[in-house]
């Protein structure tokens, strides 16, 4: 394998513990309507939360002992390479942009924006061509899936379409 420096992702274990704590607390505050079985709506939630906390603590022990975390292999990707956070940011923006635009600009234009951001993340620099391809793909998907009975909202809600 590679000579990657040992990583100690404490925050990962902490995140698991926090999620567990939220579930435990939320399960605890649920009103108890246990019925015959003595198991109300909160019991299973609390169980899941408690186990997550235990697992998070176990993970913390493993990290302290120096457990290795090797990135998974994927096609077209170099698992051992140093990650490019710039590329990551563009791809993440492509996944986040629908939050802002989907309800206003509709599916085809949102698809175009996402397409441009992701192709940019992968190193393409022909923005106009990428936008054109993205728009065509977005329109085809919107029209095709709407025809198949999948609701994808208006084509351009801003204009009232």
Partner 1 sequence: MDAFDSLMTGFGVALQPAHLMWAFVGSLLGTAIGVLPGIGPALTIALLLPVTVKLAPTAAFIMFAGVLYGAMYGGSTTSILLNTPGESGSMMTALEGNKMARAGRGAAALATAAIGSFVAGTIATLALTFLAPAIAELAFVFGPADYFALMLLAFTSVSVVLGTSRVRGFIALFLGLAMGVVGIDGPTGQARLAFGSPDLLDGIDITVVLVSLFAVGEILYVASRYRSAPPAVNPLSGGRWMTRQDWKRSWKPWLRGTALGFPIGALPAGGSEVPTFLSYTIERKLSRHKEEFGKGAIEGVAGPEAANNAAAAGILVPLLTLGLPTSATAAVLLAAFQSYGLQPGPFLFVNSADLVWGLIASLYVGNLMLLVLNLPLVGLWVRLLLIPRPYLYAGILIFAMVGIWGVGTSWMDLLLMFVIGLAGYVMRVYDFPIAPVLIGLILGPLAETQLRRALSIGEGNPLVLVSSPLSATLIVLALAVLFLPMLLRKLKANA
Examine residue 2 and tell whether it contacts partner 1 (CB under 8 A): no
87 near partner 1, judged by CB under 8 A: yes
Residue from 3, 65, 85, 160 in contact with partner 1 (CB under 8 A): 85
CB of 27 to partner 1, least distance (A): 8
Nearest distance, CB of residue 80 and partner 1, angstroms: 8
Paired tokens of 122: 């992968």
Shortest distance in whole angstroms from residue 120 CB to partner 1: 8
User: Smallest distance, Å, CB 161 to partner 1?
Assistant: 15
Q: Which of 28, 69, 127, 158 binds partner 1 (CB under 8 A)?
A: 69
Of residues 10 through 39, those in contact with partner 1 by CB under 8 A are 12, 16, 19-20, 23, 26-27, 30-31, 33, 35-39
In the DSSP assignment, the letter for residue 30 is S
Q: How many residues bind partner 1 (CB under 8 A)?
A: 82
**How many other β-carbons are positioned within 10 Å of the β-carbon of residue 139?**
16
**Each residue of 140-152: b (16+ CB within 10 Å) or e?**
eebeeeeeeeeeb
Q: How far is the CB of 110 from partner 1 (least distance, A)?
A: 7
The backbone region for 160, taken as left when phi is positive above 0, alpha when psi lies in -120 to 50, beta otherwise, is left
- Is position 137 an interface residue for partner 1 (rule: CB under 8 A)? yes
Give Rg (Cα) of the chain.
Answer: 23
Quote the crossing angle between the two packed helices 127-147 and 85-121, to the nearest 10°. Answer: 70
Residue 106 is classified by DSSP as H
């Amino acid at each position: 394998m590679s000579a990657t420096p040992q990583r100690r992702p404490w925050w990962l274990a902490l995140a698991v513990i926090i999620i567990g704590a939220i579930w435990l607390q939320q399960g605890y505050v649920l009103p108890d309507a246990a019925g015959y079985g003595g198991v109300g709506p909160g019991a299973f939630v609390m169980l899941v939360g408690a186990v997550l906390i235990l697992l998070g603590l176990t993970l913390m022990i493993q990290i302290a002992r120096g457990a290795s975390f090797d990135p998974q292999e994927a096609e077209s990707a170099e698992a051992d390479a140093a990650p490019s956070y710039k590329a990551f940011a563009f791809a993440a923006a492509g996944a986040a942009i629908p939050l802002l635009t989907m309800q206003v600009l509709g599916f085809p234009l949102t698809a175009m924006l996402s397409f441009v951001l992701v192709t940019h993340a992968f190193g393409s620099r022909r923005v106009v061509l990428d936008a054109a391809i993205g728009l065509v793909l977005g329109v085809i998907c919107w029209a095709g899936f709407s025809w198949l009975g999948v609701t994808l909202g208006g084509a351009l809600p801003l204009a009232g379409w």
